[in-house]
Chain A
Amino acid sequence: MKAFKYWDKVLILFILILWQVVGMLGIVPSFMLPTPSDVIMALFKDWRLIGESTLISLYEAMLGMGIALIFSFVCAILMDRFKIFYNMFYPVCVISQTVPAIAIAPLLVLWFGFGITPKVLLVFVTCFFPLLVGLVSGFEGCDKNILRLYKSMGAGYLRTLFDVKLPFAMESFFAGLRISASYAVVGAVIAEWLGGEGGLGVYMTRVRKGFQFDRMFAAIIVISLLSLFLVRIVDVLKKRVLRWK
């Protein structure tokens, strides 16, 4: 007999039902904790605004992540090629990670205003490091014998990079990309909390002021679905790229 493998879904369903029952029985007042059905209703009622905000946040997240991708590749290759670059920048990158993103978000807003720039920058800051670490450790983990073989056949650095290092680094790069994808939307939303013209973060602060907690929850659900969706895309891409595995 096949083992039942949907326990996670059973648990989620159980929590939702419990939550609904607690709300309906009035154990917790609905203005403090709206029931799942209230949240879904809010999602439908306010779908246009939520949809628009989602697109804005998604755009910021994608832009920040795209820039982080380009920078991480350039930096990882430079660090791989020039040891001095690695020795200079890698420790700084590691130290920079001890600064929480939430702490620098207000500064970014202060420096770059309420436009899109601080949002994209915050996404960039949160996504860059996992991508860089993924690539650098991927390069370092390359089979030394294959690198020697390439050298013995007279291959130059660029050729070795494209033929050997990059393909071998893909596995750990995708591990980094997965983390980045799950941070990206959250990064954008955090920056939006501090002010802006649109996006899910701005939507959340607005409905919070109006005590519309059902809409607040609706936004939270959209954020988490969006992150899951991005992670899923990364997984599909990984499967395609690492088909040889």
Chain B
Amino acid sequence: MKVLEGFGLSKSYDGEKIIEDVSVYVKKGEIVSLLGVSGAGKSTLFNILSGLESPDEGEVYLKGECITGKAGRVGYMQQSDLLLPFKSVRDNAAIPLVLKGTDRKKAREEAERILEEFSLKEASCMLPGQLSGGMRQRAALARTFLTGCDVLLLDEPFSALDALTRSEMQKWFRNVIKEKGASGIFITHDVDEAIILSDRIYILSGDEGKISFETEIALNSRDVFEEEFIKLKKEVIEKVK
């Protein structure tokens, strides 16, 4: 079942077409990557899917309901963790609940619960500045989950992390999404990351602002050194170019 679907989306800025007639979707429990060179319009597409901007043409549907131009309906996580430095990790995670009018004490309890799930129990009363990059990103993801939306848009969530933390986070992230039965679309520049994480890949071509390629990823193993992984990687890199 398609949970989030953007249909025939187009957007221009100052007369310049950024994306044109783009249609993407994500099914329940699925992780989809959006690959493309810089300036291909990935972030524009995300802003439209998240409702932060309205498209010139096209509609966005969340579980059958039209949410074009309506913010706050899907979880949105950006490149940097964007944790408020003056709030504790727990209070940061609880922000979406508080914004929805949940009582502060209840929101904190709920945040504590999810932080424990994300192995951040000890860090819950610390300030974000006291945490490592990976922990901060996990806390940001906890906050995104607490938006209550089970569809997540992630804009290069791991790009600021070092290679080791990053690879750990990718595995962890895939497990969390699958366990929770959530769905995610995420932007990345990194072909490896796209193949490791996702069930399907879209490639957004920079010249035309259209989806130029789409493929399911049906690998037995997501080990980067396996032959089938390398073969698929080559194929995808060809298409991105």
Which residues does A use to contact B, with CB under 8 Å? 143, 145-146, 148-155, 159, 163-164, 167, 244-245
Contact = CB atoms under 8 A, between A and B. Distances in A.
Given A149-B76, A152-B71, A167 B99 contact: no
B149 to A, nearest CB: 10
Given A152-B71, A163-B95, A244-B127, A145 B147 contact: no
B99 A152 contact: no
> For chain B, which range describes its interface: under 10, 10 to 19, 20 to 34, or 35 or more residues?
10 to 19
Contacts of B100: 154
Interface stretch (B4-12, B82-90, B227-235): B82-90
Interface string B66-109: 00000110001010101011100000000110011000000000
B52 interface: yes
A146 B82 contact: yes
Nearest to A170: B86
A149 B78 contact: yes
B129 interface: yes
Contacts of A143: 82
B51 A159 contact: no
Contacts of A155: 99
Contacts of B95: 153, 163
Given A150-B99, A167-B84, 13 more contacts: A145-B80, A145-B82, A148-B78, A149-B76, A149-B78, A151-B52, A152-B51, A152-B72, A153-B147, A154-B99, A167-B86, A244-B85, A244-B86
A145, A153, A154, A245 pick with most chain B CB within 10 angstroms: A153
Interface string B110-132: 00000000000000000101000
A153 B72 contact: yes
A154 B70 CA distance: 9
A163 B84 contact: yes
Nearest to B77: A149
Contacts of A151: 52, 71
Contact of B50 (A150, A152, A244): A152
A159 B84 contact: no
Nearest to B51: A152
A6 B95 CA distance: 47
Contacts of A152: 50-52, 71-72, 76
A153 B51 CA distance: 10
Top 5 nearest A-B pairs by Cβ distance? Answer: A154-B72, A244-B86, A152-B76, A153-B96, A155-B99
A152, A154, A167, A245 pick with most chain B CB within 10 angstroms: A152
Contacts of B84: 146, 163-164, 167
6 contacts: A145-B78, A149-B78, A152-B52, A153-B71, A153-B95, A154-B72
A148 B77 CA distance: 10
B113 to A, nearest CB: 19
A153 B52 CA distance: 10
B129 A244 contact: yes
Contacts of B80: 145
Nearest to A241: B86
Nearest to A143: B82
A143 B84 CA distance: 10
Interface in B164-208: none
B50, B95, B147 pick with most chain A CB within 10 angstroms: B95
A167 B100 CA distance: 21
Contacts of A145: 78, 80, 82
A159 B99 contact: yes
A154 B82 CA distance: 16
A152 B78 CA distance: 11
B38 to A, nearest CB: 17
Contacts of A164: 84
Contacts of A154: 71-72, 99-100
A149 B99 contact: no
